[in-house]
Amino acid sequence: MTYDSWSLTEERFEEEFLARSESLFSIGNGYLGFRGFFCEREPAHHPGVFINGFYEISPIHYGEDAYGFARFNQTMVDLPDCRYLTVTVDGQRFDMKSVQVDEYRKKLDFHTGMLSRTVRWTTTEGKKVVTTWETIISMEHKHVGAVRLQVSCASDARISVSSSIAMPASRAVAALDPRVGTMLNRPSLTSLGYRLLHDDDKHPIGFEGAFKTVESALHLTCGALHECTLSASVETRTEEDGPPSLVFMHEGRSLELCKHFYYLSAGRPGESFPLETIRKGKFGRACTRWHDLVASQRNHYIQFWEHALVTVEGDEKIEQALRFNLLQLHQSTGTDGMSSLAAKGLTGSGYEGHYFWDTEIYGMPFFNHTDSKTARALISYRISLLDHGRARARDLAQRGALYPWRTINGWEASAYFPAGTAQYHINADIAYSIFQYLAITDDLSILTEGGAELLFETARLWYDLGYFNPEKKGLFCINEVTGPDEYSALVDNNAYTNLMARYHLGHVCSLARRMRRDMPDEWNRITKVLNLQEEELEQFAQAANMMYIPFDAQRGITLQDDSFIHREKWDAAKRGPIKHPMLLHYHPLVIYRHQLLKQADTVLAMFLLHDAFPWYLRKRNFDFYEPLTTGDSSLSACIQGIMAFDCGYVSLGDAYSRQTALMDIDDLHHNTKDGLHTAAMAGSWMALVYGMAGYRMVDGVPAFRPQLPGSYRSVSFSLSFPSSLLHITIDRQRTVYQVKGTPRTIRHRSETVVVGSEAISRPTRATCKAVIFDLDGVVTSTDEYHYRAWKRLADAHGWAFDQEVNRRLRGISRMQSLQVILDHNGVTLPTSEMDTLCELKNRWYRASLASLTPQDILDGIVPLLDELRRRGIATAIASASRNAPYILGRLGLEKTFDAVVPAHEVVRGKPDPEIFARAADLLGLYPEECTGIEDAQAGVDALREAMMRTVGVGPAVNAADCDAHVDSTGQLAIDLLLF
Amino acid sequence: MTYDSWSLTEERFEEEFLARSESLFSIGNGYLGFRGFFCEREPAHHPGVFINGFYEISPIHYGEDAYGFARFNQTMVDLPDCRYLTVTVDGQRFDMKSVQVDEYRKKLDFHTGMLSRTVRWTTTEGKKVVTTWETIISMEHKHVGAVRLQVSCASDARISVSSSIAMPASRAVAALDPRVGTMLNRPSLTSLGYRLLHDDDKHPIGFEGAFKTVESALHLTCGALHECTLSASVETRTEEDGPPSLVFMHEGRSLELCKHFYYLSAGRPGESFPLETIRKGKFGRACTRWHDLVASQRNHYIQFWEHALVTVEGDEKIEQALRFNLLQLHQSTGTDGMSSLAAKGLTGSGYEGHYFWDTEIYGMPFFNHTDSKTARALISYRISLLDHGRARARDLAQRGALYPWRTINGWEASAYFPAGTAQYHINADIAYSIFQYLAITDDLSILTEGGAELLFETARLWYDLGYFNPEKKGLFCINEVTGPDEYSALVDNNAYTNLMARYHLGHVCSLARRMRRDMPDEWNRITKVLNLQEEELEQFAQAANMMYIPFDAQRGITLQDDSFIHREKWDAAKRGPIKHPMLLHYHPLVIYRHQLLKQADTVLAMFLLHDAFPWYLRKRNFDFYEPLTTGDSSLSACIQGIMAFDCGYVSLGDAYSRQTALMDIDDLHHNTKDGLHTAAMAGSWMALVYGMAGYRMVDGVPAFRPQLPGSYRSVSFSLSFPSSLLHITIDRQRTVYQVKGTPRTIRHRSETVVVGSEAISRPTRATCKAVIFDLDGVVTSTDEYHYRAWKRLADAHGWAFDQEVNRRLRGISRMQSLQVILDHNGVTLPTSEMDTLCELKNRWYRASLASLTPQDILDGIVPLLDELRRRGIATAIASASRNAPYILGRLGLEKTFDAVVPAHEVVRGKPDPEIFARAADLLGLYPEECTGIEDAQAGVDALREAMMRTVGVGPAVNAADCDAHVDSTGQLAIDLLLF
């Protein structure tokens, strides 16, 4: 099978897959969207036509109601279809099911966003006909689209085309699946009347209708004008209360008809619009020429792809999928500041057209880096609804503003608050995306246009929501919330929420300082408008500083929330294998009770707040949560993929990235029919950029850490900054950076580089920047000293201890060592006593160390250190021994190493990679830029976990686990270390 | 104002209070219920007629649906009103609003359950008329009731009475209040036709109609037969599709009409019934004579009151309220095994006629002790729906059976699972009530009739629901549940739930042993039917033994759940004073986040599982939870009241008891209009019996602990056991016990008494049974030894310490003492070091104690102990000193005291009453039966908290805090101690 990188094509019509195909072949311009249904609307699954943010409301009924529950649902409205055309040849009306189809081809073109269909078919009388439909929704003129229909016959025929406005069919109420949503079981629109449109010669050339939504009172006018190349005869049909139609008839071999349609909606309830003006203005002139429209569209997409294009050499399927995803994302995203990006965009009615946090957390990174105007418009949309957020906070008895979990018009539309309103994190998600936008664009104007008010009002909510909990040492706790993982609800101290709230509170404090300094007038205005006192900012800072983040000291992991670790693990023996998605097979009480995740939660926080977690903690958390993450949410795979790359799990990262990229094209979640997963589409870009390329913005500098999975030859993409367009290509050997515009400082792993118009190339794989030494057995040998001290302790207590047991103490901490000895003797002691004994042993051991001298440095180490220094390779000590500084001093090496990891700060000892990762951190390096030297198996295991080149010394380690192995330190040649 | 103990009367008609009056004057027989509306139905608030368990269903709509949500609501149906009568005099139709009313009296008679109304009124023509309506719903024949109407005029008049069946009006959909419920906004019943009934002479004497509920398909036939004393002329009116009517007309001074009505419903959907048989049988003969009906009713209530009567001398309002409550409870409770006791009984449509745990936890104690047949019927109702519980457990992915939180037909009808299905405790509540029934009646037959299956299947759910949590030392945890306090939802390890589950699991294990021994055949059958293996019983026992009960070691209290203590306290400065009931003013997220209770939760567990908590813990818990309990639930006051009495808070207990008793008569929750609070009605009986009389069943023996609040002269009530009716009267001086039937062993406080037909009288107030001694300063003086040891320690560290500081160490623990010294010196030490120092001080101190001899016993103590022993008064030592046994040994007193409290077991030292309460426990006494002797203020405070007679010694205590005070032990005369 081959995949075209610049189009998606379907060459077989299968009714079974019709629904999915309609979603995949959707076209739109962010304002107006058509699912990819046939112009003749038959057969069709859901011939959906949508305007972004055009909705109907209906009361939400609760079997058991309560104060503050969301009152009205909002549903994106199915609009009248002005593209509607039917073709009849010799009296035989065409549709895919009733005629003999000889050849079929449906295509979405990525260069133009054009949806075309060509059908070769044979009439019952045996006439061969070719029919082509081409549809474009204009990117230049958002109210406008056109369809060009060409019919040609092998011999003369009576060709007729009927054109009208089709009214949406009412759709069945959906079943249990909450992802589908409750559809309205009544018409959403009432027609206000139709009229025919005529040209200057009073010939009918089109029609239009005016409509109003029944409850939300939004107005819509839509219609179409026609251009027929041949002098076909035109018949007009009108019905009482129904849309009129035009029928174009021609006897001959061909007919070509161009139908230009338009949709004009009022943006807010009750609003009307200067209809004639708009139509006579832009639409009347520029948009009624098909070729102009195509040309304008092509130009638009040249611009778009200049910033958004990704290439993937070696996997054309993925390349196609990624480009398809970005095109669809682009087509679905509102750019007018009055709409946003719905969960299914404009491609289906799943989730009822609601906007969620998807926009901010999944969509914004793409827009921030390829299309900052759109990013700004999305922020403006949120700003415009700040008053709704304020009112909602009042409903919840809170200060400040609380954004709705799901909405179109700014009011909360979530009918199930435990997985809705309780997701307070939406406030921080929005704030995060604005701060990210500012970091990338430095566009301060958004602050004066309501952005600052939004940021402070939403921050206020946090301070009011949480409190300094005396039961948690006075730390700031936020209780009774739901995090991104909706398989846990109403928990205390969701780590994601608290971390994001900390970020939010911390950043508004910085913002306040900056505004006071750089925008004093605006700052004065804001503080007055918001009655924002200095004291309140201090409170924000205090809450941020004192924020409680649940942590499991024993496992050394961040806990998803206070109760997560107490949930039961899924016991397949008891309950059978998990049925997915769980939300369709288990009561929420069953789901909430188990240690399972719908989607990345803490892992997502580690991606967004990269700096808040050292690498070893990110990895440890990922290792803990990854097996518990069901991925039942389509938002999960991209984040798990990015963080898998971060941990060095390249093939796992690749697998997740592919899942995200192919989510809809391969219909992996079996619900593409309800619309495309826009967050996953944006996520597929993130998986490439943040995952494979390892991109992060670190202190204002774009930093990269490329890891190319084995199946790709190369990947490339661009990131756009205010005055620079940075292009990155990663192949197996090299990573190439090039900037169009102002040169820009970037980081390639730990190296800082200034990139200009000339391509700069760096090895894709990491190179060795440092060597990290274990101390005992590598730099010197204190084994015997340890042995003697332990032996003395054991003898004093009458415990068995010999060299055999001693070998098991290599590389582990003092306390762990004592435990080994106690276990060996079947003895249990209270911790306090063990502390005392460790102290005793250490006193004996330290006393004996006094006899160490530089002579005790092991063979070959001194020249090796000299050589490393000569070559500019950094060095560090990663030893579990708290005596390391003392020993180094006795050896005269106290100033030799660039870093010595403070052993007492290490939460988990070897074989956990923490200590080595800390060493790399101290040196400002990524772990994969380091080589480690170890003489103990636990140390070797730790190094492998740390992704470092592993060099083993001596007989106590398994040589097969090492990248290189020597029998003694004297053999440690430098070439064994470098890479 | 005077209150009649045998009736409730209304003498003014006020339309404003009409709705409440309709509820209060409800009449019924457990099957059929009428609200106390006027026969002419005008004016009326809700002229409700109900059959217990006769319901309509309607689908529950969810704005956001999920797997396993309850699918259908059930609503008790408003039935056709066969009592409907209108009176016309001289063409003027009577109703309370349109005629001139001269005198009005509405009365509910407690001797007969008869509702009567007498109205003296004047026609527009000035004629004086007296009209009386009397209604009885037969207790003997559950399908039957009658109304007798008497009209008399001062002069001749045209009197006519129209009789018909009135169809229920459709009622408006209720607003936000979830306690009201969502009413159906469509008719529930369709009529299947009407017919006239004739006597043997073919004269029309009545009519009847047949009906069916629209969705639940339950059948109902109802009608009426008439008896007119005078030869009135009768006119028949029939309408197409409407009910027929009979009009009785008489010219003269009076007319008397008796209307006998009947209701026959099928018990299960689709069922029909042998209508003619029933009507011709019982109804046709016995029930059509008014005087027979009244006599039968009177007899019934003589029986009823023999068991249920309560008297309250000194407060006739409370006496009336209590009797009213019990009558109404009786009238509302289903006795046919196919219905139960709805939250509002048959008195209104609040909570839609659903049955909750109210039946088992609030109603059953009353029925178990006054009417075991009804108790049994209520159990049978639950048993009959076991299969529904099994199916529901499957929905929740659990084994066993899970009973619905709210239901009529056995299916879960709770549309908000966090305060519905999540209340798994319903399973244990039902089991508890059955075990209590067994304990009181020993009626094992309920086990063979499905009771045992119910108990084991519901126990299975617990084992499957919880798990042995390695993070809690392998204890059995039950996560993600809601306890009785619905102001906390979806918590882990709700103490009430876990305690009740432990009870449930433990008791089925005992039951298994008993059945295996006493009912081997039945046991074999059960184990086969349930596939119950020995292993499973062992698992139950293990879960019970290992049940985790959250406990706060620092505060020494039982925690409501794992997260309760982490919730924020309500900050009135931040959020304003609480608006009640909170559920109508705050979003659940706000409520759940705060440390507030809707109703007794842990406190309820302490009542039900009295034995599981020592008294000091019950008191400490009560002290903690009482201020946090909003009492927004009407179920709260009775339990808080009972436990206030238990703690010795007599006036608080009284206040709560009054609240419960007057809940409806005084409309304290402002919603009596929606129906009476049946649980609170039963609760008012409990508050008397378990509260004031302190009744508990202890090891199968009824035990009493009377405390009469100051405002009462006496109270009395009866408890009925299988062959004995125990009557109890408590007055200010004496408590009198008397048994009708087999003599019975009871306990009056700690005294065991056998009571027979002869009245036995005991003092109501406690008498002294023991004296509890502090050690140091009372029995001997080790002060100097302590002082010297502390001084030595202080000197060694250079800390200031003198006699002044030493005095502050009296009565507190060693660790607390050290803390005082450290604080005095501004020193902070780690706990481990403090441990060491305490140890050191103790070693020095103990060594010095070796010099103690019997000579060191303080003056007067030896003769005092001798005298106490002579009088049979027990003695104990309650000292914080862990050296107490050693010191007693040195003094030669090691065998003198009946008990020495092990100091190391004490969780909280003096001034907490724990140590004294433990001493009383060890002696098998209630605290109020003890006197304590103390020389330290902390000890005096502890004694007062412990409700003990407090005797202070020496200058270190405030004499005003003591019941008696002496300067030295030599003055401790025995009369100071005894009471």
Q: Give the percent of chain B with pLDDT over 90.
A: 85
CA distance A201 to chain B (A): 53
Which residue in A60, A566, A589 is closest to B63 by CB distance? A60
- Catalytically active residues of A are 486
Instruction: Assess A963–B contact: CB distance below 8 Å, yes or no.
Output: no
| A-contacting residues in B 392-451 (Cβ below 8 Å) | 395-398, 414-422
pLDDT digits (tens, 9 = 90+) for A296-342: 999 999 999 999 999 999 999 999 999 999 999 999 999 999 999 99
Q: CB-CB: which of A178, A469, A566 is closest to B492?
A: A566
8 Å CB contact of A66 and B592:
no
Cβ <8 Å between A584 and B67: yes
Quickly list H helices, A154-222.
none
Sequence letter at residue B3 = Y
How does residue B1 score in pLDDT terms, banded at 50, 70 and 90?
low
Rg (CA), chain A: 33
B698 touches chain A (CB under 8 A): no
pLDDT confidence band for B171 (50 / 70 / 90): low
Name, of A194-208, B277-291, B517-531, the range with top average pLDDT: B517-531
Decide if B66 and A588 are in contact by the 8 Å CB cutoff: yes
What is the structure's pLDDT at A238? Answer: 86
8 Å CB contact of B66 and A583: yes
Least confident stretch, A544-548, B59-63, B78-82, B127-131: B59-63
Q: What is the DSSP string of A286-298?
A: HTT-HHHHHHHHH
pLDDT band at residue A277 using 50, 70 and 90 as cut-offs? very low
- The percent of residues in chain A predicted with pLDDT above 70, rounded, is 96
A789-801 mean pLDDT: 90
Tell whether ipTM is more than 0.95.
Answer: no
What are the pLDDT digits (tens) for B937-961?
Answer: 999 999 999 999 999 999 999 999 9
Give the model's pLDDT for residue B282.
46
pLDDT (mean) for A399-417: 97
Give B207's contacts (C-beta < 8 A, 6+ positions apart).
B164, B165, B194, B195, B196, B197, B223, B224, B243, B244, B245, B246
Best to test chain A binding among B185, B406, B587, B835 (most A CBs inside 10 Å): B587
Cβ pair B479:A73 closer than 8 A: no
Contacts of A784 (CB under 8 A, 6+ apart): none
Are B414 and A477 in contact (CB < 8 Å)?
A: no
pLDDT, residue A562, reads 97
The answer to whether residue A276 scores a pLDDT higher than 60 is no
Q: According to the model, what pLDDT value does residue B797 have?
A: 86
Q: Compare all CA atoms of chain B with the CA of A833 and give the residue at the minimum distance.
A: B832
Q: How far is B411 from chain A (nearest CA, A)?
A: 15
Minimal-distance CA residue of chain A relative to B477: A566
Distance of residue A419 Cα from the nearest chain B Cα, in angstroms: 10
Q: pLDDT grade, residue B844 (50/70/90)?
A: confident
pLDDT digits (tens, 9 = 90+) for A179-226: 776 666 778 999 999 989 888 788 888 999 999 999 999 999 999 999
The mean pLDDT value of chain A amounts to 93
CA A125, CA A112: separation in Å to the nearest integer? 37
d(CA B129, CA B123): 7
CB contact under 8 Å between B590 and A68, yes or no, is: yes
Q: Is A539 on the interface with B (CB under 8 A)?
A: no
d(CA A44, CA A21): 10
CB contact under 8 A, A565 and B471: yes
Contact list, B396 vs chain A (CB under 8 Å):
587, 589-590
The residue to which tokens 């708009």 are assigned: A278
Over residues B470-489, the mean pLDDT reads 97
Q: Is B486 a catalytic residue?
A: yes
Cβ–Cβ under 8 Å, residues A782 and A852: yes
Q: How far is B219 from chain A (nearest CA, A)?
A: 26
Tell me the residues of chain B between 161 and 180 that have a Cβ less than 8 Å away from chain A: 176, 178
In terms of pLDDT, which residue wins out, B830 or A491?
Answer: A491
**pLDDT of the residue at A840:** 85
Cβ contact (<8 Å) for B563 and A492? Answer: yes
Of chain A residues 813-872, which have a CB less than 8 A from chain B?
A: 832
Q: Which residue has the tokens 């991925």?
A: A631
Lowest mean pLDDT: which of A873-887, B132-146, B238-252, B260-274? B260-274
Task: Please answer yes or no on whether B562 and A567 come within 8 Å at the CB atom.
Answer: no
Tens-place pLDDT, residues A164-182: 999 998 765 555 676 776 6
B-chain residues near A61 (CB < 8 A): 61, 63, 182
Q: How far is CA A368 from CA A376, A636, B14, B470, in A?
A: 8, 21, 69, 46
For residue B276, the model assigns a pLDDT of 54
Among the partner-chain residues B419, B479, B585, the one whose CB lies closest to the CB of A568 is B479
**pLDDT band at residue A797 using 50, 70 and 90 as cut-offs:** confident
pLDDT of residue A274: 46
What's B152's DSSP letter? E
How far apart CA A256 and CA B762 sit, in angstroms, is 110
At A836, the pLDDT band (50, 70, 90 cuts) reads: confident
Closest Cα in chain A, distance from residue B945 (Å): 27
Q: Does B584 contact A492 at a Cβ distance shorter than 8 Å? A: no
Evaluate the omega torsion of the peptide bond into residue A43 and state whether it is cis, within 30 degrees of 0: yes
Asked if A492 lies within 8 A of B566 by C-beta distance, the reply is yes
- Give yes or no for residue B279 having a pLDDT over 60: no
Tell me the average pLDDT across A511-531.
97
Answer whether residue B273 shows pLDDT above 80: no
Residues of chain A numbered 482-501 and touching chain B (CB < 8 Å): 489-490, 492
Average pLDDT over residues A721-735: 97
| Residues ≥6 apart with Cβ < 8 Å to B606 | B612, B613, B618, B621, B622, B643, B646
Q: How far apart are CA A113 and CA B682, in angstroms?
A: 73
Mean pLDDT of B760-785: 94
Instruction: State the pLDDT confidence band at B824, using cuts at 50, 70 and 90.
Output: very high
Q: Is A69 on the interface with B (CB under 8 A)?
A: yes
**A&B contacts, CB < 8 Å:** 171
pTM score above 0.90: yes
Q: What is the pLDDT of residue A280?
A: 54
Tell the burial category of B576 from Cβ atoms under 10 Å away from its Cβ (0-12, 13-18, 19+): exposed
Res A278 pLDDT > 50: no
B704-731: average pLDDT? 97
- For residue B368, give Cα distances in angstroms to A658, A719, A949, B391, B884: 67, 78, 77, 29, 47
A563 touches chain B (CB under 8 A): yes
How high is the mean pLDDT of chain B?
93
The confidence band for A281, taking pLDDT boundaries of 50, 70 and 90, is very low
Facing residue for A68 by CB, picked from B417, B469, B587: B587
- Does B554 contact chain A (CB < 8 Å)? no
Contact list in B for residue A416 (CB cut-off 8 A) is 62-64, 66
Interface contact flag, A70 B63, Cβ < 8 Å: yes
Q: Which of these is catalytic: B360, B412, B486, B929?
A: B486
Q: What is the pLDDT of residue B184?
A: 65
Which comes out higher in pLDDT, residue A88 or B195? A88
For an interface test with A, give the residue of B402, B564, B566, B574 to mutate (most A CBs within 10 A).
B566
Whether residue B68 lies within 8 A of chain A, CB to CB, comes out as: yes
- pLDDT at residue B551 in the model: 97
Q: What angle do CA A433, A437, A442 make, to 5 degrees?
A: 150
B418 cis-preceded (ω within 30 degrees of 0): no
Residue of A nearest to B466 (CA): A568
